[in-house]
Chain A
Amino acid sequence: MNIIRKEIITVKAATIQLETLACPSCMQKIEGAIRSLDGIQEDTIKVLFNSSKVKLNFDEDKVSVDEIENAITKMGYEVIKTKVK
């Protein structure tokens, strides 16, 4: 039974609403900041410039939503709301 429990998938999808993004180079910075974290599925990172949102899949076992939010705030972008599914 223990083995089965370990196999439960802990990957979640997060949608993070940021303050309005103004410069396209912000996108590279935010993507870079998230990429540097552990437990992020790198090819799922999508920074939507015009709607100022970040979408990504992450492994809940390795990284928490707070850590992801922190990485973004440290770059100087305010996180308004995060939805995890």
Chain B
Amino acid sequence: MQRLILSKKNQITLASGVLIVIGFFSKWFLNNTDLFLKTLIVASILGIVPIAIQAYQALRVKVVSIDVLVTIAVTGAFFIRNFEESAIVTFLFLFGAFLEQRTLNKTRSAIKELTEMAPESALKQMENGEFEEVEVDEVDVGDILLVKTGAKVPVDGTVLSGEGYINEASITGESVPAGKEKDSKVFAGTILENGTIQIVADRVGEDTTFGKIIELVEEAQDSKSEAERFIDRFSKYYTPAVLVLSFIVWVFSRDIELAITILVLGCPGALVIGVPVSNVAGIGNGARHGVLLKGSEVIHDFSRTDTIIFDKTGTLTVGSPAVSETKLYTDKADQALGYLASIERESDHPLAKAVLEEIGETTFSPVENTEVVKGGGITANVNGHRVAVGNIAVMEKENVELSEEAKADAARLEKDGNSLVLTAVDGRLKVMMGVRDRIRAGVRKDLQRLKALGIKNLVMLSGDNQGTVDIVSRELGLTEAHGNMLPEDKAEYVRKLKEKKRIVAFVGDGVNDSPSLALADIGIAMGGGTDVAIETSDVVLMNSDFSRLPHALGLTKATARNMRQNIFIAVGVVLFLLASVFFSEWMNMSIGMLVHEGSILVVILNGMRLLRYRFRK
């Protein structure tokens, strides 16, 4: 019975609203006071039933909820025969709750979009070898699944057969489809844009990367900051306190009207909902833009950050070296480059990869008698020529003479932080390449944006030598840069800054920097959706996208500001209402309830603005 009434709350609200309109219509236009009173009495009784049920349920589990205050107030109004008040207050309370639910759904929409991307069904290979559609919950690790064009990958798995292009935007934020073939890893929640693949399930349900992201976001939006926990404790005692206050007022003044008015005016409404609303909207905005924020504590701390420390390799730089400059000392460069590529093709040295990428299309020749030279190089016979590849030491060993021009080039490239790859054919130097790590595209601008957002110190820490570190630092306009640092040195540096009362954020790739990530006030992982990054840090930038950082910082600042506004509105409204009941003539229960419900909608709408937040470039 109770459940039936509660499930019909919206209809009851509508009926009570219609009755009130009829009542006032008959009073003002038909001059029928009798009908007016009767409709309002019915509206009051109708409206108070669901509220009273909620109040009763709350009291049974020892909670003095707002429903309790309203029920007592309306019952009081009813007994002093103020039916106008009792009817309007119940209607406003119910209607307010209805609007609250509708608008709240809006603030949660960003996260709902995310959870709705979760796969629901899968084509699973049954014992007879046929594929049948089953619910995703029924898939176990080791099952073989078929994914067709346009379908969602149901679990994290490995491709067994077939090829295709997968849109992995839900995991990495990257919308350019990634090619997949046998042995490629695929992720739950991503979409196969073309092709057909069979996969074996490695991780299912909440253990998948997508499942973890959803769980993280869901828990984040309900995690509470110190301020919120305070408000929670506060409202636990606040509501009973209002009850006591109104009772005291009644004892001393013997004015029931005044006592029950205080009950309504004292409702904490906007205070309870204001902060969570900003929180959920802010985290939702982040989730949509590739920034995972782990809760409101993180938002609060990050918004106050004054120092950001960056790891160099993989964070400010791409992490994979590339050829920055090629010098040729021959007219027949194609031949020499072909020999170089042929040799490097057989090496797994990181520099070799960069060299091959730089040369691109070329004619490969068979390589014989390959020898690795200690100290950084290779010698081999290609097409009957003796070819040496390596640094200057290797050239000296091979008795290759360097011209003055070549020596000057080598010195200049090394000074700019390059590693050298020299190529000699038959004892004569043909090619010199400078290889170095590239700075990520757009990092310089993003760092300036961080400064504009109020970050005072931009610091880089790196295991690289000080020379390279200084070059990158100058290029990016950092405040400080330190090289030759081991992970424990970095952590020590973070500790020292914290002792100086700086609020420190550390940006790293989440694996080797984990001590610093954990120690900093805010650990920011550049994670391409890896589990370690997601679990150890406070903020995750999806797809390792550095340009999300200014958005993340701007968003936390906007969210923290939004929370303060909402607390101010909520507290202001209660103080204003309580003051006006004592110092003004016009305040009554209905107006009080109207202002309360209005303020609740105002804080929700204010929170919703965060959903549209964009970083202004």
Check A48–B61 contact: CB distance below 8 A. Answer: no
Check B272–A25 contact: CB distance below 8 A. Answer: yes
Hey, which chain B residues are within 8 Å of A32, CB to CB?
A: 58, 60-63
Q: Residues 57-85 of chain A: 1 if any B CB is under 8 Å from the residue's CB, otherwise 0?
A: 00000000000000001111010000100
User: Would you give the shortest CB distance from A44 to chain B, in whole angstroms?
Assistant: 13
Hey, which chain B residues are within 8 Å of A83, CB to CB?
A: 137
User: Would you give the shortest CB distance from B221 to chain A, in whole angstroms?
Assistant: 4
Check A48–B219 contact: CB distance below 8 A. Answer: yes
Check B97–A29 contact: CB distance below 8 A. Answer: no
Q: Is B3 an interface residue (CB 8 A)?
A: yes
User: Would you give the shortest CB distance from B70 to chain A, in whole angstroms?
Assistant: 12
Check B221–A29 contact: CB distance below 8 A. Answer: no
CA distance A29 to B60 in the complex (A): 9
What total count of A-B pairs have CB within 8 Å? 74
CA distance A38 to B219 in the complex (A): 26
Stretch at the interface among B101-109, B163-171, B323-331, B336-344: B101-109
Q: Which residue on A lies nearest to B231, using beta carbons?
A: A24
Q: Which residue on A lies nearest to B224, using beta carbons?
A: A49
In-complex Cβ contact of B218 among A23, A48, A74, A75 (8 A): A48
Q: Is B222 an interface residue (CB 8 A)?
A: yes
Check B54–A22 contact: CB distance below 8 A. Answer: no
Hey, which chain B residues are within 8 Å of A28, CB to CB?
A: 58, 61, 63, 65, 236
CA distance A83 to B205 in the complex (A): 11
User: Would you give the shortest CB distance from B22 to chain A, in whole angstroms?
Assistant: 28
Known: A50-B111, A50-B280, A73-B3. A24 touches B57 (CB 8 A): no
Hey, which chain A residues are within 8 Å of B111, CB to CB?
A: 50-51
Hey, which chain A residues are within 8 Å of B218, CB to CB?
A: 48, 50-51, 53
Q: Is A2 an interface residue (CB 8 A)?
A: no
Q: Which residue on A lies nearest to B5, using beta carbons?
A: A76
Check B101–A29 contact: CB distance below 8 A. Answer: no
Check B53–A29 contact: CB distance below 8 A. Answer: no
Hey, which chain B residues are within 8 Å of A29, CB to CB?
A: 57-58, 61, 63, 65
User: Would you give the shortest CB distance from B248 to chain A, in whole angstroms?
Assistant: 24
Hey, which chain B residues are within 8 Å of A23, CB to CB?
A: 66, 97, 100, 272-273
Residues of A18-45 contacting chain B, CB below 8 A: 20, 22-25, 28-29, 32-33, 35-36
In-complex Cβ contact of A76 among B3, B62, B100, B115 (8 A): B3
CA distance A51 to B62 in the complex (A): 25
Hey, which chain B residues are within 8 Å of A53, CB to CB?
A: 218
Hey, which chain A residues are within 8 Å of B60, CB to CB?
A: 32
Known: A48-B219, A76-B54. A20 touches B105 (CB 8 A): yes
Q: Is B584 an interface residue (CB 8 A)?
A: no
Hey, which chain A residues are within 8 Å of B137, CB to CB?
A: 83
User: Would you give the shortest CB distance from B321 to chain A, in whole angstroms?
Assistant: 44
In-complex Cβ contact of A49 among B3, B6, B57, B276 (8 A): B276
Check A50–B65 contact: CB distance below 8 A. Answer: no
User: Would you give the shortest CB distance from B298 to chain A, in whole angstroms?
Assistant: 16
Q: How many residues of A contact B (CB 8 A)?
A: 23
Check A50–B101 contact: CB distance below 8 A. Answer: no
User: Would you give the shortest CB distance from A22 to chain B, in whole angstroms?
Assistant: 4
Check A22–B57 contact: CB distance below 8 A. Answer: no
Main secondary structure of the interface of A (DSSP, over half): mixed
Q: Is B2 an interface residue (CB 8 A)?
A: yes
Q: How many residues of B contact A (CB 8 A)?
A: 33
Q: Residues 1-15 of chain B: 1 if any A CB is under 8 Å from the residue's CB, otherwise 0?
A: 011001100000000
User: Would you give the shortest CB distance from B163 to chain A, in whole angstroms?
Assistant: 35
User: Would you give the shortest CB distance from A75 to chain B, in whole angstroms?
Assistant: 5
Check A75–B97 contact: CB distance below 8 A. Answer: no
CA distance A73 to B2 in the complex (A): 10
Q: Residues 279-312 of chain B: 1 if any A CB is under 8 Å from the residue's CB, otherwise 0?
A: 0100000000000000000000000000000000
Check B222–A24 contact: CB distance below 8 A. Answer: no
Check A24–B273 contact: CB distance below 8 A. Answer: yes
Check A76–B6 contact: CB distance below 8 A. Answer: yes
Residues of B51-103 contacting chain A, CB below 8 A: 53-54, 57-58, 60-63, 65-67, 97, 100-101
Q: Which residue on A lies nearest to B108, using beta carbons?
A: A50
Check A49–B66 contact: CB distance below 8 A. Answer: no
Q: Which residue on B lies nearest to A77, using beta carbons?
A: B6
Hey, which chain A residues are within 8 Å of B61, CB to CB?
A: 28-29, 32-33, 35-36, 75
User: Would you give the shortest CB distance from A40 to chain B, in whole angstroms?
Assistant: 13
Hey, which chain B residues are within 8 Å of A48, CB to CB?
A: 218-219, 221-222
Hey, which chain B residues are within 8 Å of A51, CB to CB?
A: 108, 111, 115, 218, 221-222
Hey, which chain A residues are within 8 Å of B2, CB to CB?
A: 74, 76
Check A50–B221 contact: CB distance below 8 A. Answer: yes
CA distance A51 to B217 in the complex (A): 10
CA distance A76 to B7 in the complex (A): 8
Known: A25-B58, A75-B57. A50 touches B276 (CB 8 A): yes
Hey, which chain A residues are within 8 Å of B63, CB to CB?
A: 25, 28-29, 32
Residues of B217-241 contacting chain A, CB below 8 A: 218-219, 221-222, 236
User: Would you give the shortest CB distance from A34 to chain B, in whole angstroms?
Assistant: 9
User: Would you give the shortest CB distance from A13 to chain B, in whole angstroms?
Assistant: 10
User: Would you give the shortest CB distance from A72 to chain B, in whole angstroms?
Assistant: 11
Hey, which chain B residues are within 8 Å of A24, CB to CB?
A: 272-273, 276
Check A22–B100 contact: CB distance below 8 A. Answer: yes
Hey, which chain B residues are within 8 Å of A25, CB to CB?
A: 58, 63, 65-67, 272
Check A20–B221 contact: CB distance below 8 A. Answer: no
User: Would you give the shortest CB distance from B273 to chain A, in whole angstroms?
Assistant: 6
CA distance A25 to B272 in the complex (A): 8
CA distance A22 to B137 in the complex (A): 28
Q: Which 3 A-B pairs have the closest CB atoms?
A: A32-B61, A22-B101, A76-B6
Extra A-B contacts (15), CB below 8 Å, given A28-B236, A75-B61, A76-B6: A20-B101, A20-B105, A22-B97, A23-B66, A23-B272, A25-B58, A29-B61, A29-B63, A32-B61, A32-B62, A48-B218, A49-B222, A51-B218, A75-B57, A76-B3
User: Can you list 20 contacts pairing A with B, beta carbon distance less than 8 Å?
Assistant: A20-B104, A22-B97, A23-B97, A25-B58, A25-B65, A28-B65, A28-B236, A29-B63, A32-B60, A32-B61, A32-B62, A35-B61, A50-B111, A50-B221, A51-B108, A75-B57, A76-B2, A76-B3, A76-B53, A76-B54
